[in-house]
Amino acid sequence: MPKRYRFDRMEWAGSLGDLGTLLPLALGMIVVNGLDPAGLFFSVGIFYILSGLYFNLTVPIQPMKVIGAYAIVSALPATQILASGLLIGVFLLVIGVTGAMDVIGRWVPKPVVRGVQMSTGTLLMAQGVRFMLGTSTYQALRNAAEPYLSIQSLGPLPIGIALGVLGTFLTLLLLDNRKLPAGLVVVGGGLLLGVLFGTGDGFRDLSVGFYLPSWMPLGMPSRVDFSLALVMLVLPQIPMTLGNAVIAYVDLSREYFGERSRRVTYRAACVSMGLANLASFFLGGMPICHGAGGLAAHYRFGARTAGSNLIIGSLFVVLALVLGKHVYTASTLIPLAVLGVLLLFAGTQLALTILDMRERKDLFVVLVMLGITLASNLAAGFIVGILVAYLLRWKHLNV
């Protein structure tokens, strides 16, 4: 049996693998929506640590993407984001504790699971390229490709593209190198670049101390907040959460870790996320979940044990306790193009799970889901994928 906890270079590299998903949405919800930086980072860090301790292996922690993306684009108030986190947390606890999620999971065909993984992987790759090109929503809001770097180009070449090409080359070169893990080299190089050529925004006000997270720093959402959050944020998020953060995540964990993942069940994943969102609500943080994409990212960059969770979780908790609200400033040191490189490789790792699909009908389901996801969203792709998969079981239908 492998060790339960390792803290070698590969675990350190793997622990950083999902920053490309986590940081941009977190920073966006802090800047645009006004979430509490200390509470957000602290709740994410604690969730990382407790998940690793309970499940005894690498466990991803991510923002809920539908909620995060819509909230940022629409500039919703923080109270509505908090309301969505509480509502979806209660929902996940109910379907987890009652066993309803086990019933749902048994009725989802494997091609649909692969379709969710393929679609999520493709979305991650596309977002990674956007970060390199400087065209993501967050960069548009900041009106710069690299808003926290003092240099924006190397001659005629935009700095994001230069960093993306260099980071991709280094990752391809070092991806399986145990002495110089790709994740450490790429993220470490990005941090060094941020220190040397960063704009320094906010660092003059940075104050090191000891800051405990505040209890409900943003107050209690109103009835209107809960009503709007249910319609605009929670209902669109639920299908994606069930498809990606529960079913696809549990499937991928079993594929990667085999018998070691026996604690990773539909019920446990729901209860884990439900409790985490209740805690995040009271600390002023964002709605959070597990996710197949996050697991692929951690795994591809070297994480194999719960040690990676303790590493990244402790880092988030310490930063929140030492820097308080200024933790946001420290997190801007990593260029967005570097985060894009992490997303690109995480997406390819996740998309490659379709290699075990051999039947034409199964591949058809996967591709239909991918097309609908790109044209609409993953929640729609998940629902249509289930319908198509069951229709194709009728022997008179062929593809």
| Measured CA distances, 77 to 30, 219, 244 (Å) | 11, 12, 26
User: Are residues 217 and 284 in contact, defined by beta-carbon separation less than 8 angstroms?
Assistant: yes
The 10s digit of each residue's pLDDT in 106-153 is 899 999 999 999 998 999 899 899 999 999 888 887 888 898 898 888
The 10s digit of each residue's pLDDT in 205-231 is 778 889 999 999 999 999 999 999 998
pLDDT of residue 371: 95
pLDDT of residue 325: 87
Segment 365-379 shows an average pLDDT of: 92
**pLDDT bracket for residue 2 (50, 70, 90):** low
Number of H helices, E strands in the chain: 20, 4
Query: Mind giving me the DSSP string for 203-256?
Result: GGG---S--PPPSSTT-PPPHHHHHHHIIIIIHHHHHHIIIIIIIIHHHHHHHH
Query: What is d(CA 382, CA 370) in angstroms, rounded to the nearest whole number?
Result: 9
Q: Is the pLDDT of residue 323 over 60?
A: yes
Among 103, 30, 29, smallest CA distance to 68 is for 29
Segment 189-217 shows an average pLDDT of: 86
Among 52, 54, 333, smallest CA distance to 200 is for 333
Which residues make Cβ contacts (< 8 Å) with residue 234, sequence separation at least 6?
67, 84, 87, 88, 91
- Name residue, tokens 């320094």: 200
pLDDT of residue 359: 92
One-letter amino acid of 248: A
Helices 249-257 and 292-300, axial angle in degrees (round to 10): 30
One-letter amino acid of 85: G
| Measured CA distances, 9 to 6, 182, 301 (Å) | 9, 10, 10
3-state secondary structure 197-217: HECCCCHHHCCCCCCCCCCCC
Query: What is d(CA 396, CA 256) in angstroms, rounded to the nearest whole number?
Result: 36
Q: Is the pLDDT of residue 1 over 50?
A: no
**Percent of the chain topping pLDDT 90:** 65
Neighbour-count burial of 348, counting CB atoms closer than 10 A to its CB (0-12 exposed, 13-18 middle, 19+ buried): middle
**Percent of the chain topping pLDDT 70:** 99
Segment 20-36 shows an average pLDDT of: 88
Q: Is the pLDDT of residue 365 over 70?
A: yes
**Cβ-based neighbour number of residue 90 at 10 Å:** 14
Average pLDDT, the chain: 91
Query: What is d(CA 273, CA 287) in angstroms, rounded to the nearest whole number?
Result: 9
pLDDT of residue 140: 84
- Identify the residue with better confidence: 43 or 376: 43
Query: What is d(CA 65, CA 119) in angstroms, rounded to the nearest whole number?
Result: 14
Segment 334-359 shows an average pLDDT of: 90
Give the predicted TM-score (pTM) of the model.
0.88
